[in-house]
Chains A and B, each alone.
Chain A
Amino acid sequence: MDPRRTARTVSDPKVRQVGFFTPAPPERSVSDPPRFQDPIQPPSPSPTQVNDHSPSGNSLSPVMIPPAHHHSDNFLRTALQATSPTKAFSYSAKTVTIPPENEDVASSFSPGRKVVSAKSPSSFPGVKASSVPASELTTVSVVNLPPGISEKAGGASVEVQNDRPVSAKTLKEKTSKAERRALQEAQRAAKAAAKAEGTKASSAASKVVTSANTKPSKAAKSSSQKNDGSQVAASEKKGGDRAPEKDRKKDAPHPRMQYDDKSRVEKAKKRAVVKQTEARNRVELFRHLPQYEHGTQLPDLETKFFELDPMHPAVYKVGLQYLSGDIRGGNARCIAMFQAFKEAIKDYSTPPEKTLIRDLTARISSYVSFLIECRPLSISMGNAIKFLKNRIAKLPLALSESEAKSTLMLDIDRFINEKIILSEKVIVKHAVTKIRDGDVLLTYGASSVVEMILLHAHELGKHFHVVVVDSRPKLEGQLLLRRLVRKGLSCTYTHVNAVSCIMQDVTRVFLGASSVLSNGTVYSRVGTACVAMVAHAFHVPVLVCCEAYKFHERVQLDSICFNELGNPDAISKVQGRKEINYLDGLVNQENLQLLNLIYDATPSDYVSMIITDYGMIPPTSVPVIVREYRRDHLWS
């Protein structure tokens, strides 16, 4: 096994393009980027992979999830279409025996452990239908080997390709750590086999899958982390204990940076849809985050528009919008993504010999990985994708294709409505009760929720003054300022440096968030932490307004372990001020590094209250909401 494993590792570096990866063990190319190889390739590799896997698979007990699982898991994680890789994986050993039980696999990992397990046997066979970012879905995606292989060859080439390399990789990794997992799997498989349900096996498989997924998928990061499945998978993976963190980390920074292995990086680059050149002069501390040279991708992508058949044009369009920065803000990105997915689902038709669920999930995963390449997913988007894959997985098999599609579209609409639009209204309703006449409210950056709150309070006739604090390089506050002044609010505009001068006059601070983590840490635009800290020092209450779908189980201690790096050139150039050009010509100097963080983490002690659609809660109640309400509402 070992020789094979190592061989595998070498051949298939998992290159994950998006997202943040922590340095995964070399075997586990955690961040295997989705590989978009041409369709022709998959067939050839698959056999090799299959070969690779089968021995490993064979080495494992039939019940055991062969590395393919891992691969598939990884793929899932990376939101790659796991189809191909999974297919590649020759779970032949055991897969053949296990009847595909895809349908039953529950979308959510945690509750659906069993369901997933049911599916996992099928998945084990090696076909991971879709590497759902949500680990839950990963299990679903695990498909039978035999069909997988064929599908791989024929199916979504793009996805397949991506998956394949990843899957191969995951397989490798799996086998490498496989001993432990193999044992677990064997036990589980035995149990499952005993029950003849394959539920357990599927769970094991799902675990594997999830672990695999967790590794590669960045997109799935948030979702996978949330999934128990991911945790399961994590455990299955080698270094099970560190798997959960690894998964998270995988979702986090782009592992590419972490790898010193140039070959891996090169391979990843070759497979990338979006050709991104790595930025030079990366900051040491942030080597675990992907950093690209911006501006080089758009023209490339545009030329490829007609080449990427599997990519739906709506998704492509959204990806381009992300890349160019036209769409900003968690809610806007989420809604745009979902609209694009709706279009894609509408136009989707199940290819022959495939099941709708698996294939659709695989396709969605490929879309997601493409979006990740354009811009790393925000945590809320990860949650949303998890939801979607969950719903796809839960589709009853009896539905016809059109019915299934319409159901899905309805579900998406419902999600957008309930979780985003309606919840914003509820938040606004709660928040305006906190605004009194004569207040001076401070806000930072441009948050859609806070804007709605202010406008609504103004409509209600309250008299207050708004201080808009802005920061470089995005200067989003100016957009908010313009909209507020148009509506007739009296505003003050200032830069974040002056916040301690202005804070004396402020009575309340309203902040938006990209996400709120389990320990109450607010993860939002960089600079929020500064504002919250200064407000705390001046004893001004800080209210964070955040929809509940943005909550996450993760815990983050500081802003460095997980973040997003923006365009460093935005720092050296000051928009609108031509005279500030001190750094012209210096950008490529060795000693100079430009760091453009997008997010930062605000400790919970600075936050007085979080206003969500479930009410107004203290930061310590976030894990409660995550635990209680998520399971019931979102993943049910």
Chain B
Amino acid sequence: MPDTQALVNDFLNKLKKRKIEGSQATAKQTAELLRSVISQTRMPYTNQAAALIHSVKAVGERLIAANPVELAVGNVVRRVLHIVREEDLSLTTAAMAGLNLSAESDDEDDTDRDNHPALSAAAIAAASRSTLRPPSLQTLLEDVPDSAAVPHTSSSGGDSEGKSKSADKSSRSRKLKHDVIEAVNELIQDISTCHELIAEQAVEHIHQNEVILTLGSSRTVLEFLCAAKEKKRSFRVFVAEGAPRYQGHLLAKELVTRGLQTTLITDSAVFAMISRVNMVIVGAHAVMANGGVIAPVGLNMVALAAQKHAVPFVVLAGSHKLCPLYPHHPEVLLNELRSPSELLDFGEFSDCLDFGSGIGAPLLHVVNPTFDYVPPKLRRA
């Protein structure tokens, strides 16, 4: 636990200080972190899944609070919780089936058999209680007596049954952890390889002699375009530079080194050029439950222009970016203002800024949002 605690704190710090950015990186790290948390969680005999969930939740809430804008963190936490629940459910059903089987097939063990039905009934009852059930009034009220009842039944079952049950349970708990960790590994795998899967679909969407517009830089988009290029589709790409981070420059550089015809334009020229563009393909930071997209700043403008000119607006997002939250007032709540120095040079404007502080209310505000919200109706796919 101390190890994980240190890890968790470390990750929390990184998130808070924005040292880690980008949904893929954060998602991966979160998943790995949760994996280690899970493996280190001490599992009680009963309701291991609940314990797992409890510990994951505790860590997850802290992670989300550290950087609420990185929705990928929350997504991964929820995915892991879902995994735990699923695994637990499948294990329980398997266990119940197994118990039934053992009860039926065990002939020699008379005592066991005698006890088995009772045990099995009790075990099934206990098992069903120990499996995670969606919180309801019943479960909440049963929680306390539940834990008392289970040992009771186990003790009533006798040592052998108790042992077997506990053995069952411990084996089951071990198995649960094992399964969960396996599933989390799969999740990490998914996060890493989402690009390839998305890129495979590129060929269906990009055809010959098309002109594509994109803004900023997204690895998904890069892989997408390169996959299409591999299939010998020749097309041109307009890259809007995406100030103030100018990630469009990076993307353009990548594309050029891979041999694609690229033209770099300023963001302000997007409206001018969009009439000559066949498709707009962008990456996203997160996709909300209503279909809205949190994207790098400037994409709302592009989406509006695309809608006006009836150009398809396509968003590429890995599964770790799908978020079950609904955006309320996303420009403010789900946005982050970055340093004004990216826009204004402090040195040049120091006189103006000082002017404000002397008087009282500052006269000059600089707004440098990171993200844009694109409503679902502007998005084609």
Contacts and interface: CB of A to CB of B under 8 A. Distances in A.
A497 interface: yes
Nearest to B340: A493
Contacts of A559: 269, 271-273
Interface in B249-265: 249-250, 252-253, 255-256, 259-265
A279 interface: no
Given A571-B266, A591-B262, A593-B264, A472 B364 contact: no
Interface in A183-213: none
A533 interface: yes
Interface stretch (A290-298, A304-312, A319-327, A594-602): A594-602
Contact of B343 (A490, A495, A537): A495
Given A533-B301, A591-B261, A592-B262, A493 B367 contact: yes
Contact of A501 (B269, B342, B367): B367
B327 to A, nearest CB: 13
A556 to B, nearest CB: 11
Given A501-B331, A583-B252, A593 B263 contact: yes
B230 interface: no
Nearest to B275: A558
Interface string A458-483: 00000000000011110000100110
B81 to A, nearest CB: 32
A560 interface: yes
A491 interface: yes
B361 to A, nearest CB: 7
Nearest to B367: A494
Interface in B210-263: 241-244, 246, 249-250, 252-253, 255-256, 259-263
A558 B246 contact: no
A580 interface: yes
B13 interface: no
B268 interface: yes
A582 B253 contact: yes
B367 A595 contact: no
- Chain B contact-residue range equals 35 or more
A482 B272 CA distance: 28
B345 A576 contact: yes
A277 to B, nearest CB: 20
A579 to B, nearest CB: 9
A603 to B, nearest CB: 8
A526 B269 contact: yes
A493 B364 contact: yes
Contacts of B70: none
A485 B355 CA distance: 9
25 contacts: A285-B276, A472-B266, A472-B268, A485-B356, A490-B364, A496-B267, A496-B298, A496-B301, A497-B242, A497-B267, A498-B367, A498-B368, A498-B369, A500-B372, A501-B335, A530-B267, A533-B305, A537-B304, A559-B273, A560-B276, A574-B243, A593-B262, A596-B265, A597-B266, A597-B272
Interface of A: 283, 285, 470-473, 478, 481-482, 485-486, 488-502, 504, 525-527, 529-530, 533-534, 537, 558-560, 563, 571-572, 574, 576-577, 580, 582-583, 586, 589, 591-597, 600-601
